Structure 1
Amino acid sequence: MFTGIDEVDWASMRHAYGSAEDVPALLRGLASADSAAREVALDGMYGAVHHQGDVYDSTLACLPFLFRLVQCEEVGDRGEVVGLLVSIGGEAVEGGAVGEGPEETYARARTAVRAGAAAFARLAGDPDPAVRQAAPGAVVRFLDQPARVLDLLAQRISVERNDGVLIALAESLGLFARRHPGHAPRAVDLLAALSGPPAGPGLRLAALGQLAGCAPERLPVDLVSTAVALLRVRSRGPRPHPRAATDTLVGRLRQLRPSDEEGSQLLRTLHGGLGDRVADRIALLEGQLSSPDPTDRCNAVWMASALVHGWRGDFHRPVELIGAQLAEGEGRLRDSAVSVLSGLFGLAAPAAEQLSALVDAHGDLWVRHWERGAPTLGDPLKALARAGDARAVPVLALVLAGPVVPDDLGHVIAPLGRAAAPLAPALRSRLAGVPLDSPELGTRALPLLAALTALEDVRAVPAVLRVLLGTPEEVRSRDALIAAAIRALRAFGTAAAEAAPVLRTLLDTEYAVAAADALWSVQGDADAVRPVLARELANGRSGVRRPAAEALARMGPAARPALPALRHAADSPELWERMSAACALWRVGGEEGLAVPVLRAAWAENPHCRLLIADCLVALGPAGAPLHDLVDGELAAPRRHTASFPGVAGPGGHSEQGAFADEQLLRLLRMCRGARE
């Protein structure tokens, strides 16, 4: 297997961590008789030689030895090595990126793996089922002979008896049909045959998932009830045994996977294939979340999160069912349900009853303490507060009475609205009592400032000014504290008039934009505020030009003398600067001719811009009509506004807190439509 390995000049090659001198040891480790040693070696290959999908000269030099390894039946874990080869070939994630680096290196890797594709075809009949399971996908990806590939898949299906391998063959048929449309009809016929009896439940689910992705017209009319019934039957049978964990990156990642990874993948594939059939996906989730099997329900909780954050629909019943999992007692299912609910904000309201019961029964879950860093709110209490449920308020009051205010307490006050008003006295008292010379000033004061800002508690002005004026220069979080104090004063508005002289002293400092914005809110002195904002818009740092434009927009016509600076900023090469300036031009001077093209382009270029643009349209009222077609189009779209854009979605196919941001957008857009109608 390793003939010639010592003749390779590994020392002259590189991997993610420098010299590739250690690569021969990693390759030999893959052939070890000890399974733990093999996993350590595989961990090293992914961690250094193929780090985060990258390909180096040492990666290319490994390929001949990796191909020899997978063809030696005495070697264990060859299926994992096949997976490594597929990843190096650049198509481990269909349609995904292949990493960073010179494209020529990746092209050489793809060519080299494709040149060895005949080995994958031989491995499709290997004695080791794990190898047979890994081989079909590799054959489809790298063997450029579609007719031969399809014959091979059909032949293997006719003789294979291992359920896991059959599922891999079905998945490979779907991949084949998408890659080779001219040969797809036969592949689809094979999948349709596998989707019905006498195939087992796992194989049928796999075939249905692939049909959903490549031939939805071949799905049964009773798809949801069929899939739920198959899931029930599968759950009563034996499950694949997970591998023992090892203290490696590969091992730790394996621990994070669902306990029934195969079942999770089957249902995820089906959901993915159904796409915008949101009603069917919700019905399917309801079936999954009602399963007698807790593992199926745990998998469904995370799939529900992906659906809610990625798509728009009526999620009341699935969220209720997620809430029902909170009564399951300690364990992965309850923790998963709590984690998902804490990210749903107002959409978690159907589960509020169960969240409240959990919070009442477990005071130990109110605050989460970390080995390093400040404590945070426990997820059950956080989820209840973010859902806007007033039952969180008395518990938050008890937390406030504790020794340390959790770092994120301020961020759950806003969803509670006026229901959180009873917390204001305790928040003021805590802020007034924080020692300004404490090294923990930032940790202790920032959440309090955020909470008082959300409550717009005008009686907190003295305590806020104390922080603003008294924070020592040497405090590490001084900038954040001053910025938070200024934001609070801005939120208090004219009731904070006593703060105006202090804000004026900040107009020639690095806090000029925030101070001017707050001064406008507190005193409405356009002559004092406008020149500062125009100056910072024209000459300030890149980080202050956008907030300067936004502050001018809030001033409206009072900012008209700043229009020349805004016109210049609307031509900025930086997207957020020109978008903010365009909004201000429209709101301040009614210059829709300049603003509309900029905003329309920004709407399409970056979906995160849409919240700011929608806020601008709400402020404009009927005058925003030239962009109301964007409002109508967005309200009619089934996907969350960030979900379908490359670079803004998370690993689960949706952006973090995607539903929260999207619900904010939808609320603003409905306000636009309401004002128009």
Structure 2
Amino acid sequence: MDEVDWAAMRHAYGSADKVPDLLRGLASSCPDERESALDGMYGAVHHQGDVYDSTLACIPFLFALITHPEVPDRGALVELLVSIGGGDADESFDGDDRKDEYDDGDEYGNDGAGAGDNYAMARAAIRAGAAVFAELIEDRDPEVRRAAPCALVRFLDEPARVLGLLGERMETEPDRRVRPALVEGLGLFARRHPAAAAPAVDSLIALSVAPDAPGERLAALGQLAGCAPERLPSDLAPTVIALLRARSQESAEPEEPERPATDTLIGQLRVLRPADEEGSRLLRTLHSALGDCTADRIALLNGQLTSEAPADRCNAVWMSAGLFREWRASYEKPIALIGEQLDADDTRLREAAVHVLDGLFELAAPAAEHLAAAVAARPESWVRHWERGAPTLGDALKTLARTGDPRAVPPLLQLLKQPVVPYDLGRIVAYVGPAAAPLAPLLRTRLGDVPLDAADTYDRAAPLLLALSALRHEAAVPEVLRLLPDEVPDRSALVEAAVRTLGAFGPAAHEAIPALRDLLTSDCAATAAAALWSVEEDAKTVLPVLRRELTSGRPRQRQAAAEALGRLGASAGAAVPALRGTAETDDAGGGRVWERTAAACALWDITGAPEPILPVLRHAWHENPYTRGTIAACLSRMGRAATPAHDLLRTELGTTRRHLARSGGYGGGDILEDERLRREAAFLSGGPARVAELTLVSMARQR
């Protein structure tokens, strides 16, 4: 190892000169040192799945470590090798598929081609040493045996030998923790080698009906769902529920190896894992394989959520999150059952339930009774305090407010009387709706109390401004105006927020006109012009500013200018040529899609002519799904003129996948945005009577 020039190599955070220390740490006799070293490998040398030159240099030493029986935690090192080789990517990945993701290179000078080559070389190196995995499948350490099957299937290019090894080990493996991994290996084999899959599928079918082995049967059903769904039993949901109940009633599962409580990312993730991690993995595999079969998945969740075992219910709660985020369906029953978990004695289960409900917004309404009861029973949970930063609303109260339930108002009112207002309280008020009106006077008072010379002036004022905007509490104009002087810290962001609030107040904010006029030459000129139009509708003053910002402002100001011009309607006729130019911009990179969308919508609101804008809206709809809500609102204003674009709405309504669902992450408001889009699309596709109604509304707006 000392013969390698590690200092000449790189990882995610710079020089790889300390990598030998990590490799030695993996072989340490101290559990804390081993875990810290493993955390360093994932955190730097294999950061977020990347493969650097130093990652490649580690592969021979990782192989050396896993072949020495005296090295502890070798199962984790097998998993690390699998990840480096691309084993967590798509099963058809051959090392070059991800090359395009790295064409721009990185900050250390690795060009795109080199980065792509690293993946191919890593996979080739692990394939070259894959015979080791055939030996490890019979290792004395059950953790190694549990990690070996998938490594064997992924990297040893001898299908007949691999299948034979899996079958032989399945007959002799005594450890109940390892046997599901062998079942997973059979399923992976069937997917990777479809021409030779028949024996593996037959084995899975036999395992799915094996007596006295509910865990293995569940594992087999999950694998069949992924490789041979046509071979699943017709009564899948009842079968799985019965197996879950039987598994819960079995004698206690073998304990997992004791792990150190280290202050590492790996250690933190371990704390967050389900109490029954194996059960969670079995169900995650099954749910993922079922995909858009929402009826089956809902039936499974309903069965899991009524189990007597808290661990089964907890697993169901976490499984539901992925289903709700990705697929459209009627979820009233499972959401109500998740709400019931808020009454459980198990803290982990309660926290899981409120966490999942928190992302549902109005869809969480079937759980509102239990949320309200939880809020009333635990006032100490209304606020969540952090080691750093301002306190925030507790999850149960925040979730109740997001459903629009008025029972959230009294606790919010009490919190407004506290010395420090939770940072996100103002953002939540808008979801409560008119029932939150009693909060307005106190919100105004708290805004007036915000010090103007503090470092956190913006952080304290912005949520209150949002709340006052949502409630249209026009009496707060003086408190909003006091935030505009030059000496206020972080003035740009604060002024922008204050100006938007004044615009929301409309003509009632007439005393703000001088201040808004003064801001027409500032960095937030477009926002100030939009607010000024809302207050006094003076096109002679506002129009020149918006035309200037549309062509010369910053990207956000250009978009704001286009949106404001649309609100001017026919009064903005002089801006039509510039708006048309913005809408028809040849934007190959897609970076200005929001500007083009805003300009196209403004053109309709000004001219009432659909021909130039419908192609722009159609292109943006497909180019960036996040624009669809804005586009649907514009189509609503267009009435009958939008008929040529109604195919977009019909297609959207016929799609079971949420329009913002994507691999690799999700946004906290994705479900809310999708539900709004669905309602708008359904509203617009309501047939001739609905189109006639929209036409009348559109004509009235144009007048």
Q: Report TM bin, short chain.
A: over 0.9
Match of residue 39, structure 2, among 39, 43, 46:
43
Equivalents in 1 of 2:646, 2:309: separation in Å? 48
Name the counterpart of 1:592.
610
Name the counterpart of 1:615.
633
What TM-score, normalized by structure 1, do the two folds share?
A: 0.94
Match of residue 300, structure 1, among 294, 316, 324:
316
Greater CA drift, 326-335 or 448-457: 326-335
Name the counterpart of 2:599.
581
Match of residue 544, structure 2, among 531, 539, 548:
531
**Deviation by residue 1:480-533 (Cα, 9 ceiling, x = unmatched):** 221111111221222223322322221121111111111222222223222211
1:186 aligns with 2:204: no
Equivalents in 1 of 2:75, 2:8: separation in Å? 30
Equivalents in 1 of 2:390, 2:279: separation in Å? 38
Match of residue 59, structure 1, among 42, 52, 55:
55
Q: Is the 8 A contact 1:309 1:655 kept in 2?
A: no
Q: Note closer, same or farther for the CA distance 1:16–1:492 as it changes in structure 2 (3 Å cut).
A: same
Equivalents in 1 of 2:360, 2:242: separation in Å? 29
Name the counterpart of 1:147.
160
Q: Is the 8 A contact 1:245 1:252 kept in 2?
A: no
Identity, % of aligned positions: 58
| 1:2-41 alignment, distance < 5 Å | 5-41=1-37
1:218 aligns with 2:234: no
Q: Note closer, same or farther for the CA distance 1:231–1:592 as it changes in structure 2 (3 Å cut).
A: same
Q: Is the 8 A contact 1:245 1:255 kept in 2?
A: no
Match of residue 579, structure 2, among 544, 566, 576:
566
**Deviation by residue 1:11-30 (Cα, 9 ceiling, x = unmatched):** 33232333333222322322
Match of residue 213, structure 2, among 193, 200, 213:
200
Name the counterpart of 1:499.
512
- What is the CA distance between 1:474 and its match in structure 2? 4.7
- What is the CA distance between 1:199 and its match in structure 2? 5.7
- What is the CA distance between 1:251 and its match in structure 2? 2.0
Q: Per the alignment, in what secondary structure is the counterpart of residue 594 of structure 1?
A: coil
**Deviation by residue 1:188-239 (Cα, 9 ceiling, x = unmatched):** 2211111112261111111111111221111111111111111111122323
Equivalents in 2 of 1:555, 1:329: separation in Å? 57
Match of residue 602, structure 1, among 606, 610, 620:
620
Structure 1: tracts of 5 or more residues without a match: none
- What is the CA distance between 1:346 and its match in structure 2? 0.8
Q: Is the 8 A contact 2:341 2:350 kept in 1?
A: yes
Q: Note closer, same or farther for the CA distance 1:594–1:245 as it changes in structure 2 (3 Å cut).
A: farther
Name the counterpart of 2:261.
246
Tell me the amino acid that sits aligned with residue 29 of structure 2. Answer: A
Match of residue 344, structure 1, among 355, 360, 367:
360
- What is the CA distance between 1:591 and its match in structure 2? 4.5
Q: Note closer, same or farther for the CA distance 1:83–1:594 as it changes in structure 2 (3 Å cut).
A: same
What TM-score, normalized by structure 2, do the two folds share?
A: 0.90
Q: Is the 8 A contact 1:405 1:447 kept in 2?
A: no
**Deviation by residue 1:224-263 (Cα, 9 ceiling, x = unmatched):** 1111111111122323434324313322222222221111
Q: Per the alignment, in what secondary structure is the counterpart of residue 535 of structure 2?
A: helix
Q: Note closer, same or farther for the CA distance 1:404–1:40 as it changes in structure 2 (3 Å cut).
A: closer
Q: Is the 8 A contact 1:260 1:295 kept in 2?
A: yes
1:161 aligns with 2:174: yes
- What is the CA distance between 1:292 and its match in structure 2? 1.0
- What is the CA distance between 1:435 and its match in structure 2? 3.3
Q: Note closer, same or farther for the CA distance 1:640–1:579 as it changes in structure 2 (3 Å cut).
A: same
Q: Per the alignment, in what secondary structure is the counterpart of residue 174 of structure 1?
A: helix
- What is the CA distance between 1:636 and its match in structure 2? 1.6
Q: Per the alignment, in what secondary structure is the counterpart of residue 371 of structure 1?
A: coil
Equivalents in 1 of 2:443, 2:284: separation in Å? 44
Q: Note closer, same or farther for the CA distance 1:296–1:330 as it changes in structure 2 (3 Å cut).
A: closer
Match of residue 438, structure 2, among 422, 427, 444:
422
Q: Per the alignment, in what secondary structure is the counterpart of residue 467 of structure 1?
A: coil
Q: Per the alignment, in what secondary structure is the counterpart of residue 453 of structure 2?
A: coil
Name the counterpart of 1:473.
487
- What is the CA distance between 1:592 and its match in structure 2? 3.2
Structure 2: tracts of 5 or more residues without a match: 106-114, 693-703
Tell me the amino acid that sits aligned with residue 153 of structure 1. Answer: L
Tell me the amino acid that sits aligned with residue 475 of structure 1. Answer: P
- What is the CA distance between 1:31 and its match in structure 2? 2.3
| 1:133-532 alignment, distance < 5 Å | 133-198=146-211, 200-237=213-250, 238-242=252-256, 243-247=258-262, 248-329=264-345, 331-468=347-484, 470=485, 472-476=486-490, 478-532=491-545
**Deviation by residue 1:158-181 (Cα, 9 ceiling, x = unmatched):** 222322222112212222222222
**Deviation by residue 1:76-111 (Cα, 9 ceiling, x = unmatched):** 211111111111112223368698561112211111
Greater CA drift, 482-491 or 29-38: 29-38
- What is the CA distance between 1:602 and its match in structure 2? 1.9
- What is the CA distance between 1:655 and its match in structure 2? 3.7
- What is the CA distance between 1:330 and its match in structure 2? 6.5
- What is the CA distance between 1:457 and its match in structure 2? 1.4
Equivalents in 2 of 1:327, 1:262: separation in Å? 25
Equivalents in 2 of 1:105, 1:497: separation in Å? 64
1:642 aligns with 2:660: yes
Q: Note closer, same or farther for the CA distance 1:608–1:245 as it changes in structure 2 (3 Å cut).
A: farther
Greater CA drift, 186-195 or 78-87: 186-195
1:676 aligns with 2:691: yes
Q: Is the 8 A contact 2:32 2:260 kept in 1?
A: no
Q: Note closer, same or farther for the CA distance 1:330–1:454 as it changes in structure 2 (3 Å cut).
A: farther
Name the counterpart of 1:552.
565
Greater CA drift, 431-440 or 442-451: 431-440
Q: Is the 8 A contact 1:240 1:260 kept in 2?
A: no
Equivalents in 2 of 1:190, 1:485: separation in Å? 66
Tell me the amino acid that sits aligned with residue 343 of structure 1. Answer: G
Q: Per the alignment, in what secondary structure is the counterpart of residue 521 of structure 2?
A: coil
- What is the CA distance between 1:410 and its match in structure 2? 1.1
Greater CA drift, 586-595 or 367-376: 586-595
**Deviation by residue 1:31-84 (Cα, 9 ceiling, x = unmatched):** 233333322222222222222222222221221121122122222211111111
Greater CA drift, 293-302 or 179-188: 179-188
Equivalents in 1 of 2:584, 2:135: separation in Å? 60
Q: Is the 8 A contact 2:357 2:364 kept in 1?
A: yes
- What is the CA distance between 1:418 and its match in structure 2? 0.7
Equivalents in 2 of 1:245, 1:571: separation in Å? 59
Q: Note closer, same or farther for the CA distance 1:583–1:179 as it changes in structure 2 (3 Å cut).
A: farther
Name the counterpart of 1:624.
642
**Deviation by residue 1:342-389 (Cα, 9 ceiling, x = unmatched):** 221111111111111111122111112222211111111111111111
